Structure 1
Amino acid sequence: MARKTATNAQEILMADFQALVSDTERLLEHTASLAGDQVDELREQIKESLLKARESLEEGKETLEARGQAAMVATEEYVQTNPWQSVGIAAGVGFLIGLLATRR
């Protein structure tokens, strides 16, 4: 479920950034030839795209924070219910890191 939500958020974010890039490219192409109201209208569209992109970034940030908090709680619960296994895993990981560090 969390992966689907994260994937959807990433897809929405990418679509928003693609729209932003497209609007910016149009602005660059037409700035020289457009005057007055047309430039203002195009700038408003770009501002709207930027606002949508910022909102998507905020939603993604909140989702990542929630997932990180859930992972932290799950890890803490596991360590508290299985302290010796946790010590064994930490020792094994430390041993592997030590092996890799001494090879260089």
Structure 2
Amino acid sequence: MTTTDNVKEMRDNLAGELKSVIKEAETLLDDTHDHAEKKYNSARAKLRAALDTAKTELPKATKKAVAHTKHAAHVTDDYVGDNPWKAVGVAAAIGLLAGLVIGRSK
């Protein structure tokens, strides 16, 4: 065998191995793409479900909070109407405490 034949054989072997590596790299790339796409779609579906739940639950929570606030306002209004001087005293005490706290923080 001559040197030229050896070089051709080495070149052919190298070309074959390079083609094999390229094919394996493409297969790996395709496999990871499919895996990443599945993860992305799964995460996207979970996010969509969470958003849909939030959309349906937010009006319910808002309605409930408004109902509780209205109830608290009515109860407070009734209490103040029945006990006006107590309400004034409590408001004055809260104002005094707030003033002391603010005065100390400066």
Matched residue, 2:68? 67
- Aligned pair count? 70
Does 1:50 find its partner at 2:44? no
**Structure 2 unaligned regions, length at least 5:** 1-32
TM-score w.r.t. length of structure 2: 0.53
CA RMSD of aligned residues (A): 2.6
- CA spacing shift, 1:30–1:91, aligned 2, 3 Å: farther
Does 1:84 find its partner at 2:85? yes
Structure (1/2) with the larger helix percentage: 2
Q: Deviations over 1:62-103 (max 9, x none)?
A: 111110111111111100000000011011111111111221
**Match for 2:83: what amino acid?**
N
Q: How is 1:32-47 mapped onto 2 (pairs within 5 angstroms)?
A: 32-33=36-37, 47=48
**Structure 1 unaligned regions, length at least 5:** 1-28
Offset, 1:43: 6.1
Q: Name which structure has the greater RCO, CA cutoff 8 Å, separation 6+.
A: 1
Fraction of identical pairs, as percent? 31
Segment drifting more, 77-86 vs 50-59:
50-59
- CA spacing shift, 1:94–1:45, aligned 2, 3 Å: closer
Matched residue, 2:102? 101
SS at match of 1:84: helix
